[in-house]
């Protein structure tokens, strides 16, 4: 069997969005599964809309996801000669012809056709111009475009889509489409095919939004005498109202960068993308990389649209709850030393990293992460909700502050007293810290919960979390004493 060759050919006109990343992932999975190659080709022929920033964003996004490629990035603009040569070949062999119709001609014909309810396609006026007529128009300086000469055949033109099955159309319904503009620039439709032929692409896996081009491209392959690749057109990703997701209407939430910046775990996000349009027929939700590469199949990509279940203005779920759910799963269950590396990056970015966490305090660092991750959703939570474990400048949340501290004026005296007693402890253990706290509550004749909940708030800033005495041990004697002593600041 010949090598499978896949490609991801983004147009660099924006950020790498969820739909694009999913396309890249499916191509990558298929390449890995079949021992083939993935090629990254930047389709930058639209000079006005392509930007350096976008190219960098796409490359960074793929790197973050861990979607590596075997060849490229190639840039479509490097191959302009190939595109023009292909156009010349098509013209030379009679598969294309020069069309001198002006825009005004075409517009008025279109209006007339509309009025007469006649077919709207190009009426093929220039399809059979004689050599003399062409020469005459050219010497008169009339500009021309190049049109593809759709063969006059009865029967159906078609291809077998790996996802959708047989796709067919009548030859008659296909317009003699333009392949080179009057300024000499080949159209994207042609460039894309020429590049795929040169790159020996065996499988074209892309969004259904490209299907309007595919039948025309099938004709181009035939005319260029190149073997047809397999096509697989994936369903689009829509929002809950069935609208196409886009930055314009949904904002940065659809950009892959958003998830990186919000502390998603790269593999978790790939896992989410994989399920956005594919399933292996059971309810499995989590896949290791190896398993997904093994189980993925083009035939099981959904035929209907994928739904990006994003509920605007829902503060609890700032994106598709499924993406958060999958991320939580990995964050809470992944190998702790792997997590430790990811959290290190977050701590470093916030200036909270201590080299000792990788050396003499490694044990503490990993145990603490393991303890606090139970309630966390993203990597960012380690420097926000979990900040008190690494720094003194943590935020005390309003809800626990009111409920567990400000409601009990007495804490202003009780906590400094508790701090005194904690300072006397020669052993900083679960049993000792608990015994002292409970003794104080008994002496004061108050519920132990007042001390315990108050302490959680003062020491971590949070309403909930791991068991209170585990927290005290993790935070350490000195810091706990300091925070208890300073309780007065919270009342100020």
Q: Which of the ranges 3-11, 58-66, 245-253, 349-357 carries the binding residues for ligand GLU, by CB under 6 A?
A: 3-11
Q: State the number of binding residues for ligand GLU (CB under 6 A).
A: 7
Please name the helix (run of DSSP H) or strand (run of DSSP E) that holds residue 148, with its range, or none: strand 145-148
Nearest one of 312, 346, 341, 322 to 268, comparing CA atoms: 322
Site string for ligand GLU, 143-182 (x = CB under 6 A): ----------------------------------------
Please name the helix (run of DSSP H) or strand (run of DSSP E) that holds residue 158, with its range, or none: strand 156-161
Nearest one of 252, 263, 244 to 323, comparing CA atoms: 263
- Please say whether the dihedral angle defined by the alpha carbons of residues 303, 193, 230 and 42, taken in this order, is positive or negative: negative
Whole-angstrom distance, CA of residue 56 vs CA of residue 58: 5
Residue numbers annotated as active site: 247
Smaller CB separation from ligand GLU, 56 or 102? 56
Smallest distance from ligand GLU to CB 173, Å: 22
- Asked if 192 touches ligand GLU (CB under 6 A), the answer is yes
Smallest distance from ligand GLU to CB 291, Å: 27
Smallest distance from ligand GLU to CB 482, Å: 56
Instruction: Give every CB contact of residue 324 below 8 A, 6+ residues apart in sequence.
Output: 317, 318, 377, 378
Token pair, residue 78, equals 């490097």
Smallest distance from ligand GLU to CB 236, Å: 12
Smaller CB separation from ligand GLU, 15 or 382? 15
**Helical ranges in 263-315 per DSSP H:** 266-275, 289-295
Token pair, residue 97, equals 């012809």
Q: Which of the ranges 9-17, 122-130, 135-143, 362-370 carries the binding residues for ligand GLU, by CB under 6 A?
A: 9-17
- Asked if 210 touches ligand GLU (CB under 6 A), the answer is yes
Smaller CB separation from ligand GLU, 227 or 476? 227
- Asked if 198 touches ligand GLU (CB under 6 A), the answer is no
The Cβ of residue 361 has, within 10 Å, a number of other Cβ atoms equal to: 13
For the residues of 302-356, what is the DSSP string, one character each?
Answer: -SSPEE----TT-SS-SS-HHHHHHHHHHHHHS-HHHHHHHHHHHHHHTT---GG
Q: What does the chain come to in residues?
A: 492
Smaller CB separation from ligand GLU, 210 or 403? 210
**Are 280 and 293 spatial neighbours (Cβ–Cβ below 8 Å)?**
no
Q: Which of 15, 40, 43, 422 binds ligand GLU (CB under 6 A)?
A: 43
Q: Which of the ranges 8-16, 117-125, 286-294, 374-382 carries the binding residues for ligand GLU, by CB under 6 A?
A: 8-16
Whole-angstrom distance, CA of residue 453 vs CA of residue 465: 11
Smaller CB separation from ligand GLU, 8 or 318? 8
Smallest distance from ligand GLU to CB 305, Å: 17
**Are 306 and 272 spatial neighbours (Cβ–Cβ below 8 Å)?**
no
The Cβ of residue 163 has, within 10 Å, a number of other Cβ atoms equal to: 19
- Asked if 11 touches ligand GLU (CB under 6 A), the answer is yes
Q: Which of 6, 9, 199, 388 binds ligand GLU (CB under 6 A)?
A: 9
Smallest distance from ligand GLU to CB 231, Å: 10
Sheet holding 156-161, edge to edge: 165-170, 156-161, 230-234, 203-207
Number of residue whose CB is nearest ligand GLU: 206
Q: How far is C-alpha 276 from the chain's CA centre?
A: 11
- Asked if 381 touches ligand GLU (CB under 6 A), the answer is no
- Asked if 309 touches ligand GLU (CB under 6 A), the answer is no
Smaller CB separation from ligand GLU, 214 or 433? 214
Smaller CB separation from ligand GLU, 37 or 206? 206
Q: Which of 17, 98, 206, 377 binds ligand GLU (CB under 6 A)?
A: 206
Residue 147, SS3?
strand
**Are 23 and 206 spatial neighbours (Cβ–Cβ below 8 Å)?**
yes
- Asked if 45 touches ligand GLU (CB under 6 A), the answer is no
**Are 223 and 90 spatial neighbours (Cβ–Cβ below 8 Å)?**
yes
Smallest distance from ligand GLU to CB 53, Å: 16
Instruction: List residues binding ligand GLU (CB under 6 A).
Output: 9-11, 43, 192, 206, 210
């Amino acid at each position: 069997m010949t090598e499978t060759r896949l490609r991801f050919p983004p147009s660099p006109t924006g950020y790498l969005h969820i739909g694009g990343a999913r396309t890249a992932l499916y191509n990558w999975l298929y390449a890995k599964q079949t021992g083939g190659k993935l090629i990254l080709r930047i389709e930058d022929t639209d000079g006005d809309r392509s930007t350096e920033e976008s190219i960098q964003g796409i490359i960074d996004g793929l790197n973050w996801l861990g979607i590596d490629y075997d060849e490229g990035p190639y840039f479509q603009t490097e191959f302009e000669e190939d595109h023009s040569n292909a156009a010349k070949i098509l013209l030379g062999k009679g598969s294309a012809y020069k069309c001198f119709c002006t825009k005004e001609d075409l517009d008025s014909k279109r209006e007339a056709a509309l009025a007469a309810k006649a077919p709207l396609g190009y009426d093929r006026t220039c399809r059979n111009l004689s050599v003399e007529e062409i020469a005459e128009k050219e010497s008169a300086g009339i500009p021309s475009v190049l049109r593809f000469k759709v063969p006059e055949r009865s029967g159906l033109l078609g291809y077998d889509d790996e996802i959708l099955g047989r796709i067919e159309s009548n030859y008659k319904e296909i317009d003699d489409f333009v392949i080179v503009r009057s300024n000499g620039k080949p159209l994207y439709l042609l460039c894309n095919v020429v590049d795929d032929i040169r790159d020996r692409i065996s499988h074209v896996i892309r969004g259904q939004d490209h299907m309007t081009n595919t039948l025309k491209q099938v004709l181009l392959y035939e005319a260029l005498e190149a073997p047809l690749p397999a096509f697989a057109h994936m369903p689009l990703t829509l929002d809950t109202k069935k609208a196409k997701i886009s930055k314009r209407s949904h904002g940065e939430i659809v950009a892959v960068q958003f998830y990186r910046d919000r502390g998603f775990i790269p593999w978790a996000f790939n896992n989410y993308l994989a399920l956005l349009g594919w399933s292996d027929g059971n309810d499995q939700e989590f896949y290791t990389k190896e398993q997904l590469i093994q189980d993925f199949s083009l035939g099981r990509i959904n035929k209907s649209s994928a739904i990006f279940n994003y509920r605007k203005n829902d503060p609890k779920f700032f994106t598709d709850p499924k993406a958060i759910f999958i991320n939580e799963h990995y964050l809470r269950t992944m190998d702790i030393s792997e997590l430790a590396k990811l959290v290190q990056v977050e701590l470093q970015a916030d200036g909270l990293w201590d080299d000792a966490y990788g050396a003499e305090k490694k044990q503490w660092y990993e145990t603490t992460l393991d303890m606090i991750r139970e309630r966390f959703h993203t990597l960012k939570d380690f420097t926000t909700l979990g900040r008190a474990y690494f720094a003194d400048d943590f935020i005390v949340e309003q809800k626990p502050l009111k409920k567990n501290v400000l409601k009990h004026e007495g804490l202003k005296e009780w906590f400094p007293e508790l701090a005194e007693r904690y300072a006397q402890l020669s052993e900083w253990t679960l049993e000792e810290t608990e015994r002292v706290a409970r003794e104080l509550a008994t002496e004061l004749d108050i519920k132990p919960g007042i001390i315990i909940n108050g302490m959680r708030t003062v020491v971590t800033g949070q309403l909930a979390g791991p068991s209170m005495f585990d927290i005290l041990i993790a935070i350490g004697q000195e810091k706990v004493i300091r925070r208890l002593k300073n309780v007065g600041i919270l009342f100020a």
